[in-house]
Amino acid sequence: MATENCNFPSTLDMNELPIVRIKLNTPPLKCIVKAILPDLLDNFENASAEVVQCPDLTQPPFNLASEGLNGDENVFDIGDITNLIPSIKREKLYNIKDLKRITGSDPLVIIGACAGPYPFFGVDSEASILSLYRLINLCVENVKMTGDRVKNGTHVHMMKSDDAAAECCHKSLPDDEMRFSMMANFFTSNGFKGEVLKIVCEIRKGPLSFSTCIREALEKHFGDEIIAIGGVILIENGKVKVHVIKPSLAKIPLQSEKELGKLVNFIELSPPSVGVGCIVSHDPGLNLRLQHFHLYTDRNQGGHYHIDTEPNTIKYTGYFGVSKQFTKIDQSNFML
Ligand SMILES: [Zn+2]
């Protein structure tokens, strides 16, 4: 799509932004299994947690850019909600390639949830004015970089209009479109095969979503010690509630995250759906988004995961790598 003659900002160099790196004291996977299982069983009728060899994630239904979740594991929290509220900071445009230098990892595999590269979606009929319909979109980040080679399997979801019945539409990003914007929660690794946490939960009897249940269990058992995990969730049975952002978000000044909630369309995704993202057990005062998953399907629908809407039939299967490091980039000084 043509983006010439437009005044889009250039990407910020993440190497020059404030970076907080926290080395994590990673407990053995079997200790995490033991710690969280009782809490999973409080919220779900059936639950299991075990240490397994990661399945090949390049295969359906996952279709990720790399096979596994192991090697140089890192969880990133980049930007934050203050890049959307009270006004959208268009200059908050980042390039995922910068993570190569920040991590020093090769290959580097990035999966997770972020806002997409709005300039990619072009301009409206008035030259140099960004189409408001395309400003904020949700990305399922799925990238593998090996040397200078890039394999980009990123999905982007957006609403076509503000109408509640509007269609969710889907785009794929080409290999050379490496930008994202506003905020991101990524799990990065070498993408090698190896041991991961497998968590299966079926039939929800408590109030917590899959990701909230895992996060609260981790926080309960590990307290101030940060456990950061990332990976994939397969939803085989039961519908889930996701949001996709309405175009009007770009036009209305927002005062709070609650108001942001009015400017999203909620849709129900039928199974099967797959999500990528991460969970951080504890915020040491960095204004973090502690859990964040974006879902995709093979039916062009997707969005930001909230919770299942058919608790009697829901079945989640998650595969997670455990991170040895947590990194916050571009922390704002302004707390909402
Ligand atoms: Zn999201």
Predicted confidence (pLDDT) per residue in 240-296, tens digit: 999 998 877 666 666 777 777 777 889 999 999 999 999 999 999 999 999 999 999
Q: What is the pLDDT of residue 90?
A: 83
Q: What is the pLDDT of residue 249?
A: 66
Report the alpha-carbon angle 287-288-294, nearest 5.
145
Q: Please, are residues 196 and 320 in contact by the beta-carbon 8 Å criterion?
A: yes
Q: Which of 111, 104, 132 is nearest to 186 (CA)?
A: 111
Q: Please, are residues 81 and 260 in contact by the beta-carbon 8 Å criterion?
A: yes
Q: What is the pLDDT of residue 273?
A: 97
- 17-329: which CATH number, 3.40.50.620, 3.40.50.1110, 3.30.390.50, 3.30.1330.80? 3.30.1330.80
| Token representation of residue 272 | 């099967």
Q: What is the pLDDT of residue 133?
A: 44
Residue 202, C-beta contacts closer than 8 angstroms, at least 6 positions apart: 44, 45, 46, 47, 237, 314, 315, 316
Residue 59 CA to ligand 1 center (angstroms) comes to: 24
Q: What is the pLDDT of residue 247?
A: 73
Q: Please, are residues 235 and 271 in contact by the beta-carbon 8 Å criterion?
A: yes
Q: What is the pLDDT of residue 168?
A: 82
Residue 113 CA to ligand 1 center (angstroms) comes to: 6
Q: What is the pLDDT of residue 166?
A: 75
Residues in the chain, pLDDT under 50: 1-5, 123-133, 336
* Interatomic CA distance for residues 153 and 87, integer angstroms: 30
Residue 5 CA to ligand 1 center (angstroms) comes to: 30
Q: What is the pLDDT of residue 163?
A: 75
Residue 124 CA to ligand 1 center (angstroms) comes to: 25
Q: Please, are residues 328 and 20 in contact by the beta-carbon 8 Å criterion?
A: yes
Residue 132 CA to ligand 1 center (angstroms) comes to: 19
Angle formed by the axes of helices 29-43 and 210-222, nearest 10°: 120
Exposed / middle / buried, residue 35 (Cβ in 10 Å: 0-12, 13-18, 19+)? middle
Exposed / middle / buried, residue 95 (Cβ in 10 Å: 0-12, 13-18, 19+)? middle
Residue 251 CA to ligand 1 center (angstroms) comes to: 19
* Interatomic CA distance for residues 112 and 103, integer angstroms: 16
Residue 266 CA to ligand 1 center (angstroms) comes to: 12
